[in-house]
Amino acid sequence: MKSRFMRALWMVAVCGMVMAVAARAQSKSAGYRVVSQWKIGGEGGWDYMSIDPATGELYATRGKHVLVLNTDTGKVIADIPGFKGTHGVVFDAAGKYGYISDGGSNQVAVFDRHSHTVMEKVDTEMNPDGLLYEAFTGTVWAFNGSSHSATVIDTRSNKVLSTIPLPGKPEFPASDGKGSVFVNIEDKNLLEHLDAKSMKVLEEWPLAPCESPSGLAIDAQNEKLFSVCHDKVMAMTDGVSGKVVATATIGEGPDAAAFDPIRKLVFSSNGEGSLTILHQDSPTKYSVVANVPTQRSARTMALDEKTGKVYLVAAEFGPRPAPTAANPHPWPSIVPGSFVVLVVSR
């Protein structure tokens, strides 16, 4: 009788521990799911998105124009035209101006965030793609994919201060807000550390086992960087030593990363149609807590740190055309009117 009683107590204790672990896992992932889908439509592809921290408006680059959306209603409130191939949007600290990288025209456009009108355009090197506002120096950094360089723009004069050569094709950048700039080098599997004040490369760090890094996010407080890579790996790099301190398995085809410092969550948006969410258990330990189903092609995203919501864009695609000598790897065409914004939340 005593033996059966003790076994029963042991089983209750084990069940309690299992339930506690499950509850902690649920609290970490917080039940994220697609809660809304905004049908935007229109023609053309897309690249990165950004949230204006002052207004909460969502900016989505769409080739020859940039859409501005109200995140309460999902409605388009402005359309900024006149480009050849947009990639990224960033915002100054004063809440007045924004900046758009136009890879097709080799320029960065300066626009008024209240009227959504372009004020002027600044010439860069070839194909400015990833874009960064560096608050410590009040500069905008455009990372030029085709010319393997970074153009540094003074936001007070909108003049080019420097063009910095890089060892390969730069992808997405990040800044710690204290004068350090970081950028993934996609074709060399490297992370570059640059000094914003001297505008020089300080260090070059290998990202193995990460291959072909694209999206990059940062935990500035703990000086940790998160590179998402095309071999389904996220690499966590220490921003002081340059060492990869942890890795995690993510979905296929990632192109953007985000870190939520309030909820201690790291996100990877994956083109396969998933959003991988990791919890920061400690600055060197991360656990995958969810792989949220999204939509195939939803590879870029924007995080609203105030609400914890994640916004992704996607569309439907037709059949892939037959390869030709001129275009051996053709992209399938986008189904007209199928462009959508997905809202992921608790």
**Residue-wise DSSP of 139-171:** EEEEEETTTTEEEEEETTTTEEEEEEE-SS-EE
Kindly report whether the peptide bond that precedes residue 167 is cis, defined as omega within 30 degrees of 0.
no
DSSP for residue 16? H
Q: Could you report the average pLDDT of every consecutive run of 10 residues in the chain (346 residues)? A: 45 42 46 97 92 97 97 97 97 96 98 97 98 98 98 97 98 97 98 98 97 98 98 98 98 98 98 98 97 97 97 92 82 89 97
Residue of 259, 255, 247 lying closest to 272 (CA atoms): 255
- CA dist 170 and 188 (Å) reads 9
Provide the pLDDT for residue 330: 80
CA distances to 118, 131, 185, 220, 267 from 67, in Å? 13, 17, 28, 29, 23
- CA dist 234 and 212 (Å) reads 11
14 φ, ψ (degrees, to nearest 5) = -60, -45
DSSP for residue 125? S
Are 179 and 195 in contact by the 8 Å Cβ rule? The answer is yes
**Residue-wise DSSP of 253-318:** SEEEEEEETTTTEEEEEETTTEEEEEEEEETTEEEEEEEEE--TT---EEE-TTT--EEEEE--B-
- CA dist 333 and 319 (Å) reads 7
- CA dist 246 and 237 (Å) reads 7
Are 97 and 133 in contact by the 8 Å Cβ rule? The answer is no
- CA dist 111 and 88 (Å) reads 13
- CA dist 163 and 159 (Å) reads 12
Are 131 and 141 in contact by the 8 Å Cβ rule? The answer is yes
Provide the pLDDT for residue 109: 98
User: Judging by DSSP bridges, how do beta strands 244-249 and 233-238 pair with one another?
Assistant: antiparallel
CA distances to 57, 143, 230, 252, 326 from 233, in Å? 31, 23, 7, 9, 32
253: phi > 0 → left, psi -120 to 50 → alpha, else beta; which? left
Provide the pLDDT for residue 320: 81
Q: Which two tokens stand for residue 230?
A: 């095309």
Q: Which two tokens stand for residue 56?
A: 């909460």
For residue 173, list its beta bridge partners: 183
